[in-house]
């Protein structure tokens, strides 16, 4: 029911392609998961997502637990039926959101100005305040698994403690051990064979703790492994270093998921290091603020130079937006605050990233990934405006 097959590897890097089989279909790796945090990818329908090439989407346990509630989703037959999405779904445990959506207040246990508000962490779990109505809730590893089982995703994530990149070593060690204990409890609580449980490697920015965590999580022998706590403010060099530190200690016969990474440059660098799975809000969030990608980098359509620009967002792009509309028209939609502009930009950005994954897979098959990555990075800039 759940199986990962590595089909091809490159001779000059750790890049690889494979097929991940799930109860709701197969996914070609490496792949990117559009974010449907609260049960929908903002502004797009499931049919549109399939048209642009999405094979799997991500939803979030924290948000769905608070509204509409896991029991409500279960009454409709689970996320797939409720959302009208027939493909695979992954649910994050909500651990990251619990820590990131809080109001600013210093936590005395962490150095360097890290902030938390009403987050009480213990070995049993974490108490937090709803960002919706201020109500107090408590997540244990067992409760998170119960919620994710009710939601019914194909891949579910163990509860972990998201560690700030500049946390000191004492705190990082305590949090990493807690993540390990929670992973064990999640494994024990999870009984549904049609759902694959992944646990998460933590360890902050400390090599020894990352290695220790990778070994511990790998020894749990779960269907896949995630790497968390990266792309949270550290430098790109440090992120790549941590990936390289972890990868030799992870079972390479199983899929490896780098959480929260979505920039084209970071994705290609991570694929080069052996990563199979990615997710991030970046393409959809940038779209809603008027930013778009092309082969040369990132631009913002609100710039006045696009007022009379008759070109598509990207030349030779196969997405619906670029086939039908000019930069001038899309800029007009944004200046008028028209929802259609958000939709068209989201379609383009997701298509761009999903197509980048397709091109990467082809390059791996042809054993030309190194050349492909070098060519892309030579032209692409994170921001051109």
40-68 residue pLDDT tens: 999 999 999 999 999 999 999 999 999 99
Q: Which of 230, 254, 280 is where one domain is finished? A: 280
pLDDT digits (tens, 9 = 90+) for 176-218: 999 999 999 999 999 999 999 999 999 999 999 999 999 999 9
pLDDT digits (tens, 9 = 90+) for 328-339: 999 999 999 999
Q: Which of 222, 257, 280 is where one domain is finished? A: 280
Residues 340 and 293 in one domain: yes
Residues 240 and 363 in one domain: no
Active site residue 279: yes
pLDDT digits (tens, 9 = 90+) for 338-369: 999 999 999 999 999 999 999 999 999 999 99
pLDDT for the residue 104: 40
pLDDT at residue 116 is higher than 70: no
Q: Please count the structural domains in the chain.
A: 2
pLDDT for the residue 326: 99
Structural domain contains residue 191: yes
Please identify which of the residues 92, 160, 266, 294 carries the catalytic annotation: 92
Domain encompassing residue 244: 3-280
Residues 149 and 198 in one domain: yes
Residues 38 and 144 in one domain: yes
* Chain-centroid distance, C-alpha 236: 17
Q: Which of 280, 299, 321 is where one domain is finished? A: 280
Alpha helices in the chain (DSSP H): 46-51, 61-66, 70-75, 79-83, 95-100, 141-151, 169-189, 207-219, 236-246, 264-272, 282-288, 320-324, 327-335, 339-365, 369-379
| pLDDT classification of 136: cutoffs 50, 70, 90 | very high
Rounded to whole angstroms, how far apart are CA atoms 268 and 380?
Answer: 12
Contact predicate 43/342, CB 8 Å: yes
Mean pLDDT of 109-138: 76
Rounded to whole angstroms, how far apart are CA atoms 30 and 23?
Answer: 19
Residues 220 and 358 in one domain: no
pLDDT for the residue 361: 99
More confident residue, 95 or 10: 10
pLDDT for the residue 112: 35
Please identify which of the residues 160, 272, 276, 279 carries the catalytic annotation: 279
- Listed in sequence order, the residues at least 6 apart from 162 whose beta carbon sits closer than 8 Å to its beta carbon are 95, 96, 98, 99, 100, 228, 229, 232
pLDDT for the residue 117: 58
Mean pLDDT of 144-157: 99
Any idea what the Cα angle at residue 66 is, between residues 62 and 68, rounded to 5°? 115
Residues 205 and 307 in one domain: no
Contact predicate 145/187, CB 8 Å: no
Q: What CATH number should be reported for the domain holding residue 105?
A: 3.20.20.105
Residues 239 and 315 in one domain: no
Residues 340 and 193 in one domain: no
What's the pTM?
0.95
Structural domain contains residue 384: no
Structural domain contains residue 385: no
């Amino acid at each position: 029911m759940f199986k990962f097959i590595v089909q091809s590897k490159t001779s000059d890097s750790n890049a690889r392609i494979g097929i991940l089989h799930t109860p709701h279909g197969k996914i070609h790796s490496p792949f990117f998961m559009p974010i449907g945090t609260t049960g929908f990818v903002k502004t797009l329908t499931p049919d549109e997502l399939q048209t642009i090439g999405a094979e799997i989407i991500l939803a979030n346990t924290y948000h769905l637990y608070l509204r509409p509630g896991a029991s409500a989703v279960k009454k409709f037959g689970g996320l797939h039926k409720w959302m009208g999405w027939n493909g695979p779904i992954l649910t994050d445990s909500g651990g990251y959101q619990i820590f990131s959506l809080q109001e600013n207040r210093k936590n005395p246990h962490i150095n360097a100005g890290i902030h938390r508000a009403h987050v009480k962490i213990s070995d049993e779990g974490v108490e937090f305040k709803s960002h919706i109505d201020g109500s107090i809730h408590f997540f244990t590893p067992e409760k998170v698994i119960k919620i994710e089982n009710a939601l019914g995703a194909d891949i579910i994530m163990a509860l972990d403690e998201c560690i700030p990149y500049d946390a000191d070593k004492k705190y990082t060690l305590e949090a990493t051990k807690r993540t390990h204990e929670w992973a064990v409890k999640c494994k024990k609580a999870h009984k549904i064979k049609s759902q694959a449980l992944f646990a998460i490697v933590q360890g902050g920015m400390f090599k020894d703790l990352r290695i220790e965590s990778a070994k511990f999580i790998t020894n749990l022998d779960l269907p896949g492994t995630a790497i968390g706590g990266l792309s949270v403010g550290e430098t790109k060099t440090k992120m790549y270093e941590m990936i390289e530190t972890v990868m030799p200690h992870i079972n390479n016969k199983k899929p490896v998921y780098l959480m929260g990474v979505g920039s084209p440059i970071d994705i290609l660098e991570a694929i080069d290091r052996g990563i199979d799975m990615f997710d991030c809000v970046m393409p959809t969030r940038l779209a809603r603020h008027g930013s778009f990608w092309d082969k040369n980098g990132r631009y913002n359509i609100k710039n006045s130079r696009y007022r009379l620009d008759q070109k598509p967002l990207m030349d030779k792009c196969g997405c619906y937006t670029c086939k039908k509309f000019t930069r001038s028209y899309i800029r007009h939609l944004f200046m008028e605050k028209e929802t259609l502009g958000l939709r068209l930009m989201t379609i383009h950005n997701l298509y761009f990233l999903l197509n980048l994954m397709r091109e990467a897979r082809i390059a791996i098959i042809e054993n030309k990934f190194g050349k492909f990555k070098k060519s892309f990075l030579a032209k692409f800039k994170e921001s051109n405006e």
